[in-house]
Amino acid sequence: MSALKRVQQWATFARIWHVYDAAWQNPFHSAKLLKKYLMGLHKPIYHPLNDCGDHVIVINTGDIALPEDEWKKRAYFHHTGYPGGASWTVAWELHDKDPTMILKKAVYSSMDGNLQRRYTMERLHLFPDGKVPADLMKNVSNQIQQIRPVPKRLDHYSEQERKEFPKLIDYPKDYILR
Amino acid sequence: MSNSHIFLKSGFIRTPSQNGVGRYVCQLQRVVLKFCKNNGSSRGMREFVESELINFAKNNPGVVVYLKPRRHRAPVISAEFLNGDKQWVSCHNYSKQDISKWLNLLRTQSGNTTGFRLRKLQHTDHPSIQGPWTPYTFKDPAENLAEYPNTELSKPKIQLKTATDELLEIFNSVQISDKKGVE
Amino acid sequence: MSLYRQTLALTSRLLLKQALKTRITGETRNIKRWVAPTLNELYTRRLKVGPEPPQPRSTFLEWNYEAEVFAFGKRLGEDFDKNILKQALTHRSFVIAEEEKAKQKGVQLEELASNRSLIKEGDKIVSDFLKEEFKEHPDDVAEALHDYLTSVDMLAHVASHMGLRDIILTSEFPVENSTLADTFKAVVAALKQSQDVARAQIFVKDFLISQLNGKEIFDIWNPEKPLEYLTNLLKQRGINEFEPRLCNQSAANTILANYQVGLYNNKKLLGIGWGESIQIAKETAALDAIQRLHYQK
């Protein structure tokens, strides 16, 4: 094999590191997106027998957004294996214990249960906030687009913008704002 | 269903020694027809030798044909190819036409292909004319200088207007028309 | 070996005979308990002796040298002069062996011409034609192509796929690669003598040069220091400097790092390459640039 052909192969199968910002994102929809990158499904060279999955660093998993009342209604089941060892943890409770767990479980269950799944999960790196070790961040060469826009909160608007926002009525002078 | 085919030797279809790039060379180099002179199982072979063998030899001067009569043995075609392969075909009770077809098959083969599973029915050493894909092929060069994580690149492609935006837009348009009315 | 084989055959025959005798004289009509042990014994002895050594095809019963030589020419679609072709297939070692045999038997041997002169002539025809064909290539590339095609292994490969292996007359068995390569050259010379040089050149083109099909230039030729080679090459073309730029990188902090480097001159891309380190990427980019400079206009 000539030197050119060898590096051609190396380049085709190069592992890319992506970063994904999970703030305000639905973890279950995000899981479907991240799974494609982790398994290499987004590549034209994809084949179940070739190892072409990429790495994904997910930041801000603490700020995920669950739809409707999922925080209260979604329960995560665990069984210790002993009699009476079953337990159900509600999503908000699980999120309190480990803010990366909901997204991790979502990605894990979005993939088929085969022998490859646990190795694929090894390529997923989750961080509850924006603090990622610098040596990991050095590998990153692509940003995955979010699936929905991040809403702008009132305190993100400047004082000027808030003042200039059109008003229907003016509060009476003696009205007490709380 | 039998699974014996998974233990077969397997590989891709290939042309020996670039045959056909310069000129085509028949890969069958010699063939030995073995038969009995009076056994019934050799009847078709004897008929073939009597009526069609001369034509075969004339049409294929590059193939050396040997006849090997032997007593009370089944008829056999033994073919030798240019790549050193040998193939042995039992012709027990074959008719003249059968032998003709088998011989034609051997003539057009590139070697002994029995016991060999083709993984695909086509093969190329150069699957892509444009050059193979790499992760950088369709990448926007502008992203080379980006710092990660990057809030701009993180935004979704399709951004719908928010209610706030629309409200502001309506407000602005109304104000302009009001101003016009005043003038 | 053959003595051992003979004794083996003899003993097995005796064994069988003995067994047969007991069968004939035995009064009872029983299950024949001697059959399986005898066959087992024969089988183990056969295994012990090992496989038969390969024999030259010419020692087989079904062998006709005249027909084989005739078919050889027809197979390749060439009209050879029968005598010249036969001479091209006869090696010096075979002639010597024949003379030796004749001396031992005390028989006068008719004169056998060997292919020595033909090999020399063929070598020159092939070599000259290849140089002529690769005239357009840069000198070092042309030389590499010439050496690749005239290497013993390549010529032997071509010769054996023509069917020369069985019909060469030589004392050695199995036929060595160098002998096969020599025979190919002799056959080219024989074709020239039978017809003309042009025909011999077409023959070389169809059988030898066609082996380059599907090969890339760097499969055959590799400059040792691509960057230096490229610098010299560019200087010849009036370009004094080029600048390597890092176009892409991925997984930079892992062992699976990959860098893409482009070589630019005056904002024009000369070549692009990849590699697990920046140095390797630069070198492969240089190789790419060399290929583009030589073969794209």
What CA–CA distance (Å, rounded) separates B158 from C23?
A: 96
- pLDDT surpassing 80 at residue C228: yes
Mean pLDDT of B134-162: 90
- pLDDT surpassing 60 at residue B39: yes
Q: What would the pLDDT profile of A111-120 be if each residue is shown by its tens digit?
A: 999 999 999 9
> Nearest chain A Cα to B165, which residue?
A165
Among B135, B149, B164, the residue with its CB nearest the CB of A21 is: B149
Among A14, A146, A152, the residue with its CB nearest the CB of B134 is: A14
For testing contact with chain B, the best of A142, A162, A164 (most B CBs within 10 A): A142
The domains located in chain A, with CATH, are 3-148 (3.90.1180.10)
Dihedral in degrees, nearest 10, Cα atoms C113, C117, C123, C124: -140
Mean pLDDT of C266-292: 94
Q: What would the pLDDT profile of C197-206 be if each residue is shown by its tens digit?
A: 999 999 999 9
Confidence (pLDDT) at C16: 57
Between chains, do C275 and A10 touch, taking CB under 8 Å as contact? yes
Confidence (pLDDT) at C13: 62
Among C252, C276, C288, the residue with its CB nearest the CB of A4 is: C288
Between chains, do C287 and A3 touch, taking CB under 8 Å as contact? yes
What CA–CA distance (Å, rounded) separates B135 from A12?
A: 7
Q: Could you tell me which residue, C297 or A80, shows the higher pLDDT?
A: A80
Token reading at C210 = 């066609």
Token reading at C127 = 């070599």
**Which chain B positions have a beta carbon within 8 Å of A151's beta carbon?**
162
Among C76, C213, C248, the residue with its CB nearest the CB of B18 is: C213
What CA–CA distance (Å, rounded) separates A24 from A63?
A: 6
Q: Does A140 touch chain B (CB under 8 A)?
A: yes
- pLDDT surpassing 70 at residue C52: yes
Other beta carbons less than 10 A from residue C143's beta carbon: 14
Between chains, do C218 and A3 touch, taking CB under 8 Å as contact? yes
Beta-strand ranges (E) seen in C172-286 are 243-250, 258-265, 268-275
Confidence (pLDDT) at C36: 95
Q: Cα dist. A96→A63, A90, A92, A99, A128 in Å?
A: 12, 10, 6, 6, 11
Token reading at C229 = 């080679």
Least confident of B20-34, C97-111, C216-230: C97-111
- What is the pTM assigned to this prediction? 0.83
Mean pLDDT of B30-55: 96
Between chains, do A3 and C283 touch, taking CB under 8 Å as contact? yes
Mean pLDDT of C15-38: 71
Confidence (pLDDT) at C76: 95
List strands edge to edge, sheet with C268-275.
Answer: C243-250, C258-265, C268-275
Q: List phi, psi (to 5°) of B140.
A: -75, 120
Q: Does A49 touch chain B (CB under 8 A)?
A: no
Q: C18-23: long-range contacts at Cβ-Cβ below 8 A with a sequence spacing of 24 or more? A: none
Q: Does C114 touch chain B (CB under 8 A)?
A: no
- pLDDT surpassing 80 at residue A36: yes
